[in-house]
Amino acid sequence: MAESMTLLWCSGSPPCWRVMITLEEKNLQGYHQKLLSFENKEHKSEEVLALNPRGQFPTFKHGDIIVNESFAACLYLESQFKSQGTRLIPENPKEQALMYQRMFEGLTFYDKLDWVIYYKWLVPEDERHDSALKRHKEALTTELKLWEGYLQNVAESSYLAGDFSLADVVVFPSVAFAFRFGLSAERYPRLAEYYNLLKDRPSIKSSTPLDWFEYQQGFEVLEDV
Amino acid sequence: MAESMTLLWCSGSPPCWRVMITLEEKNLQGYHQKLLSFENKEHKSEEVLALNPRGQFPTFKHGDIIVNESFAACLYLESQFKSQGTRLIPENPKEQALMYQRMFEGLTFYDKLDWVIYYKWLVPEDERHDSALKRHKEALTTELKLWEGYLQNVAESSYLAGDFSLADVVVFPSVAFAFRFGLSAERYPRLAEYYNLLKDRPSIKSSTPLDWFEYQQGFEVLEDV
């Protein structure tokens, strides 16, 4: 099955990582993959645009089926390979509701991270304001505290909603992203614990981009959050 | 079943409308509902915060299960009441993939609408720039043209992915939202056709907020998009 799949991705992208973790969890190793460069604008290349009119990573193809939105790809793969590999959506109604709830709160979390980490890329120089960046940082602090609280409540299992699920698939890359950009493990101990418990999970470890933790200048942007 | 459900909502909110359409489609009429006021900040009331720490509409409860994110609530309801009412996720893999893809692109669509419609609410006065609003309008135009193209391709069925599905549940309220705020039916004929074909669908008609189309000043913000 995996031989009929192709993933075009770039390193350092939480949305790409979500799809890669899902593929690993569903035992779909051996798919075709091509690492492209965001810096070189390869997401706007003809190769990507032919499959993805938005010109974004990930771009994912299964046979003649194209599904590029990362959440869509994860839900599609779980549905099509339900009984293969890890079951990523709990059956139990309460856990399932919590799973979906955390999964979609994960989008807000990622959005708030983006507004701090990529502020300079998202906003042209003459439209930037210290007051705006300060507000984005405050919103991110509020968001991070919410997740600290959620993880306090689920400490016994270490996952966000019962067993490992799509909620972890989509949220973990954002947590890793936050620490990569300098988030303090001391100020956010539950998030740090969650990160440490999950980072060596086979699906995550084998899909972690090799250069993810190389030091790069400008990667301390979350130090004071 | 519906008697054990409670929805706290506000008028004019596409996310609330998504959940209401889903409840109608799944034959879950008769749920408890309470219309609250966003203008009076009732989303930050104790009643809402007790169920929803983010203080947002919709806030949704089923028995002792709370699921507030609108996409989460729609997916949860479809999963729990799969064989009741309309089947909202296609079985066919190709249609299912397209359904998830459009559903999540619908989030981008809604986000781009928000950045134009609510620019003044999202950005404090001394941080506003004409250049930023112009860029948001251009991004929205690009987005709207993408959807015009999608609808061109599915004209025979009038829905976004095969039969009526969760893709329509989440995207229709944004389309209605756009026309409410002055979008030109002449410049976006496919979106206008889609809107007209779906607006009288029972689940949509019965859940359309009564004041949705009352004239209000400032509701022409999309006229030049």
Q: Do B105 and A71 touch (CB under 8 A)?
A: no
Question: Is there a contact between B67 and A126 if contact means CB atoms under 8 Å apart?
Answer: no
Q: What pLDDT is recorded for position A152? A: 86
pLDDT above 90 as % of chain A: 87
pLDDT at B24: 98
| CATH fold label, B93-205 | Glutathione S-transferase Yfyf (Class Pi); Chain A, domain 2 (1.20.1050)
> Which residue in chain B is spatially nearest to A128 when comparing CA positions?
B127
3-state SS, residue B116: helix
Say if strands B5-10 and B59-62 run parallel, antiparallel, or are unpaired: antiparallel
**Residue A128 DSSP one-character state:** -
Q: Do A69 and B105 touch (CB under 8 A)?
A: yes
Q: Work out the average pLDDT over B152-156.
A: 67
Is the model more confident about A108 or about A221?
A108
Compute the count of residue pairs across chains A and B with CB atoms less than 8 Å apart.
93
From chain B, the residues in CB contact with A103 under 8 A are: 72
Whether the Cβ atoms of residue A75 and residue B101 lie closer than 8 Å to each other: no
Q: Classify residue B139 by burial, with Cβ atoms within 10 Å: 0-12, 13-18, 19+.
A: middle
**What phi and psi, each to the nearest 5 degrees, are found at residue A53?**
-60, -20
Angle (nearest 5°) at CA A118 between A174 and A37? 80
pLDDT at B218: 66
B202 vs A: CB within 8 A: no
Asked if residue A167 lies in contact with residue A102, where contact means CB atoms within 8 angstroms, the answer is yes
CB-closest option in B66, B72, B93 to A65? B93
Within 8 A of B53 by CB-CB distance, chain A residues are 146, 149
Q: Which residue has the higher pLDDT, B216 or B63?
A: B63
Whether residue A120 is predicted with pLDDT greater than 80 in this model: the reply is: yes
How far apart CA A112 and CA A171 sit, in angstroms, is: 13
Tell me the Cα Rg of chain B: 18
- Inter-chain CB proximity B104 and A54 less than 8 Å: no
In our burial notation (b when 16+ CB lie closer than 10 A, e otherwise), range A203-213 reads: bbeebbbeeee
Share of chain B above pLDDT 90, in %: 87
Indicate the class that CATH gives domain A2-80: alpha beta
Which of B96, B101, B105 is the closest to A79 by Cβ?
B96
Looking at residues A10-14, what average pLDDT do you find? 91
- Measured in residues, chain A has a length of 225
Residue found under tokens 């389309």: B175
Q: Does the CB of A125 have a partner CB in chain B at under 8 Å?
A: no
Q: How far is B126 from chain A (nearest CA, A)?
A: 9
Q: How far apart are CA B28 and CA B81, in angstroms?
A: 9
d(CA B107, CA A132): 23
Nearest chain A residue (CA) to B133? A127
DSSP H or E stretch at residue A5: strand A5-10
Which residue of chain A is at minimal alpha-carbon distance from B103? A72
| Closest CA in chain A for residue B54 | A146
**Whole-number Å distance between alpha carbons of B185 and B170:** 20
Domain map (residue ranges) of chain A: 2-80, 93-205
B168 to chain A, any CB pair closer than 8 A? The answer is no
Q: Does A105 touch chain B (CB under 8 A)?
A: yes
Task: Report cis status (omega within 30 of 0) of the bond before B90.
Answer: no
Each residue of B49-103: pLDDT tens digit?
A: 999 999 999 999 999 999 999 999 999 999 999 999 999 999 999 999 999 999 9
Shortest alpha-carbon distance between residue B214 and chain A (Å) = 31
CB contact A132 to B (< 8 Å): yes
Residue A158: what pLDDT? Answer: 81
This complex has an ipTM of 0.96
B187 vs B183: CA distance, rounded Å: 8
pLDDT at B38: 87
Chain A touched by B80 (CB under 8 Å): yes
pLDDT tens readout for residues B2-51: 999 999 999 889 999 999 999 999 999 999 999 998 889 999 999 999 99
A218 touches chain B (CB under 8 A): no
Instruction: Note whether A97 contacts B62, CB cutoff 8 Å.
Output: yes
Give φ, ψ of A58 to 5 degrees: -75, 155
Q: Tell me the mean pLDDT in the region B107-113.
A: 98
Q: ∠ CA B173-B23-A167 to the nearest 5 degrees?
A: 80
A70-90 b/e with 16+ CB inside 10 Å = b?
bbbbbbbbbbbbeeebbebbb
Is residue A213 over pLDDT 70? no
What are the tokens at A35?
């690492």
Average of per-residue pLDDT values in chain B: 93
In this structure, the strands spanning B32-36 and B5-10 are: parallel
> What is the rounded CA–CA span in Å between residue B33 and residue B72?
18
Q: How far apart are CA A203 and CA A26, in angstroms?
A: 9
B188 pLDDT band, cuts 50/70/90, is very high
